[in-house]
């Protein structure tokens, strides 16, 4: 499909500089795009490529000032990154088309309620009293347990398992292999050293506009609900334990783990491989650096912590600077110790010779 610069500018509410009739049919990275492709510039690190790219059309920010002439037609917008993401989303929708209908073989319980324009892929199981909202897409090899509720326009990618009693809002996108509502890790230690399983009778509630990556696990609550609030974005390979709450528009990167009953505020950013202990609270707007180990509550909003155990970023960076200098400091300390020993020996010699 061909799109002109004029058509694209209408979609993103942009202003054209150059040939409005220039056409593109695909997307490309600014450093290696070729003629007939659309690209964008949002990160200043890639600024140099704007002047050498062979892309036909480039989306840039309104405030960006050109240092030299460029080849592509420009479309200026307030936020180039968001505009480019919107265009890719539109292109993906057109390329995929609209899937509807129920493929066979699949199992749908007689008590399940299926909305309008729903797609159910082959080898999918939908249990008793399930409610599937309008325009949902459930791709092949999915399991939807009893009493699960899906809101409208949910995308459940291949191999996803949503266990019994879990509730999803509207516009939820779950990527392949993720498990929603597996048992929380609850075991009672016994006097003989064994462990008895504690029944996990709660559920998982995922609110609107949440996206969860591949092979993540979100455990059901022991009692009550594990809650992922509206707008949260979870990367691949994340573990969310029982009774955790993840706040609105919070972002968690891959391989992070959140222990049970921890409450994470709104607009929190958690880096990859970070770990949070259980029963703590994380204030709104907190940034937790990758591989940080958070062992206590963070009470002040919009803080930035790093390290293990995690501490205020400025303090942690000073500590790291000192740590790097330890070998040199050890040499200096050894030199000073030797010097003191030498001075003591000389003082003792002076004393023996009658000097004070």
Task: Show which residues are catalytic.
Answer: 242
Q: How far apart are CA 153 and CA 132, in angstroms?
A: 9
Residue 203 CA, distance from chain mean position? 22
Q: What are phi and psi of 330, to 5 degrees?
A: -65, -40
Answer yes or no: are the C-beta atoms of 75 and 12 closer than 8 Å: yes
- Chain position carrying tokens 């150059």: 18
Q: Are 56 and 70 spatial neighbours (Cβ–Cβ below 8 Å)?
A: no
Cβ neighbourhood burial of 75 (10 Å; 0-12, 13-18, 19+):
buried
Q: How big is the chain, counted in residues?
A: 356
Tokens of 266: 């709104």
What distance, in Å, lies between the first and last C-alpha atoms of the chain?
A: 98
Give burial (CB, 10 Å; 0-12/13-18/19+) of 210: buried
40, 44, 48, 49: CA torsion to nearest 10: -20
Which has the closest alpha carbon to 84: 72, 71, 75? 75
Identify the H or E element spanning 315. helix 313-324
């Amino acid at each position: 499909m061909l799109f002109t610069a004029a058509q694209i500018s209408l979609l993103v509410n942009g202003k054209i500089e150059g040939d409005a009739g220039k056409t593109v049919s695909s997307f490309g990275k600014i450093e290696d795009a070729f003629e007939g492709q659309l690209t964008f510039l949002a990160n200043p690190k890639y600024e140099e490529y704007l002047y050498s790219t062979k892309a036909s059309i480039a989306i840039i920010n309104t405030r960006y000032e050109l240092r030299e002439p460029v080849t592509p037609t420009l479309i200026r917008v307030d936020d180039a990154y968001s505009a480019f993401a919107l265009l890719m989303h539109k292109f993906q929708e057109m390329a995929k088309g609209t899937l509807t209908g129920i493929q066979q073989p699949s199992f749908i319980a007689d008590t399940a309620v299926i909305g309008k324009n729903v797609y159910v892929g082959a080898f999918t199981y939908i249990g008793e009293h399930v409610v599937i909202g309008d325009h949902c897409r459930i791709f092949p090899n999915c399991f939807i347990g009893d009493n699960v509720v899906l809101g409208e326009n949910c995308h459940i990618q291949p191999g996803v398992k949503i266990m019994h009693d879990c509730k999803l809002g509207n516009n939820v996108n779950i990527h392949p292999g993720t498990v929603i509502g597996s048992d929380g890790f609850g075991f009672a230690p016994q006097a003989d050293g064994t462990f008895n399983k504690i029944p996990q009778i709660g559920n998982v509630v995922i609110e609107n506009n949440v996206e969860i990556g591949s092979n993540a696990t979100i455990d059901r609550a022991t009692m009550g609900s594990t809650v992922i609030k509206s707008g949260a974005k979870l990367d691949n390979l994340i573990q969310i334990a029982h009774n955790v709450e993840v706040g609105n528009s919070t972002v968690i990167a891959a391989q992070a783990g959140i222990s049970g009953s921890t409450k994470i505020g709104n607009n929190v950013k958690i880096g990859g491989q970070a770990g949070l202990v259980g029963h703590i609270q994380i204030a709104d707007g907190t940034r937790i650096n990758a591989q940080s180990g958070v062992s206590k509550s963070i009470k002040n909003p919009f803080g930035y912590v790093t390290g293990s155990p995690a501490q205020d970023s400025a303090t942690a960076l000073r500590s790291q600077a000192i740590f790097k200098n330890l070998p040199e400091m050890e040499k200096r300390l050894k030199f000073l110790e030797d010097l003191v020993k030498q001075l003591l020996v000389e003082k003792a010699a002076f004393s023996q010779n009658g000097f004070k």
